[in-house]
Amino acid sequence: MSEPTTFTEGEFYEGHFDSRAYAKNFYSCPSGQADEKNFLTFVLRCLSRVFSAGEHKGKLLIDVGSGPSIHSVLSACDHYDEIVLSDFASNNRREIEKWLKNQEGSLDWKPVLQYVCELDGKIPSKLEATLKQRVKKVLKCDVRLENPFDPHTLEPADCVITSLCLEAACKDIQTYCRALHGLTKLLGPGGLLVMIGVLGESFYKVDEQLFSCLRLSQDNIKEVLSGLGLSIHEFTILPAADRQNNAVSDFEAIFHLVARKPSE
């Protein structure tokens, strides 16, 4: 499978990204997409391990590049008073809004909710109600900008989560560095950065549509975060189980990391 000849930045997503197909293909059940064995369960377990105990908490949590999904903030939402979800593509933001407002035809997150509640020892209906009550905004974001939420200026966040966003949005390592710098500026002193991403991936597919990905290594990411003054507390990697038979992406590994901004 060859990667796209031109990197598919945000503007391409606006016209070509099928939000409902993406959710159906990759998030319709906790096991995730069949070709990407253990991908989603790894992500959900890592997020549960970080947040379920309530050690990390605060007023504001920002999820940068949510896609049409709410899975990244499920384990965290009990511990933050206000949550901002965001994405570049208007279709993705609309799908989140539909789910938050219980509109007919909204995406079904019950299987993923159930799985997270089994991990965290919670009740699905209560967790869903908590999340819907605490999401205060669904904003457009562009991680290529110095302030990803321009023209909005958000108050400093206690936690920023980003999952599978930066490597899909940034065409080169310089853009990636600037994007991570923008994310750290969203954090208040001592704030927590939680990242989920892929290593060594050049493309992924939603149905038959190809999307680009910036090939990253663990060293790339560590170097950028270190240069920004963040301390990495956890960096977990799960190698891809069966790359030869994966028709929807070519990732070499999934990573999950937790880093902290220095306290002033």
Q: Is the pTM of this model over 0.85?
A: yes
Among candidate residues 143, 133, 193, 146, the one with its CA nearest the CA of residue 169? 143
Q: Which helix (H) or strand (E) holds 255?
A: strand 253-260
Task: Report whether 227 contacts 180 (CB < 8 A).
Answer: no
**Digit-coded pLDDT (tens) for 61-71:** 999 999 999 99
- Only one residue has tokens 């209906």, namely 125
DSSP character for 166? H
Mean of pLDDT values over 29-40: 74
* Nearest residue to 260 (alpha-carbon basis) of 197, 188, 199, 166: 188
Three-state SS annotation for 167-231 = HHHCCCHHHHHHHHHHHHHHEEEEEEEEEEEEECCCEEEECCEEEECCCCCHHHHHHHHHHCCCE
Residue 81 pLDDT > 50: yes
| Dist. CA 151–CA 174, nearest whole Å | 23
Domain residue limits, the chain: 10-260
DSSP letter at 236 equals E
Confidence of residue 53 (pLDDT cuts 50, 70, 90): confident
For residue 5, is pLDDT > 90? no
Instruction: Order the strands of the 231-239 sheet from edge to edge.
Output: 135-140, 80-87, 58-64, 157-163, 187-199, 253-260, 231-239
What dotted CATH number matches 10-260? 3.40.50.150
Residue 244 pLDDT class (50, 70, 90 cuts):
confident
Q: How far apart are the first and last CA of the chain?
A: 48
Judge whether residue 1 has pLDDT over 70: no
Which of 1-5, 127-131, 204-208 has the weakest average pLDDT?
Answer: 1-5
Output the DSSP codes for 64-131: ES-TT--GGGTTTGGGEEEEEEEESSHHHHHHHHHHHTT-TT----HHHHHHHHHHHT--HHHHHHHH
At 149-205, the pLDDT tens digits run 999 999 999 999 999 999 999 999 999 999 999 999 999 999 999 999 999 999 999
Q: Across all residues in the chain, what is the average pLDDT?
A: 93
Q: How far apart are CA 222 and CA 199, in angstroms?
A: 12
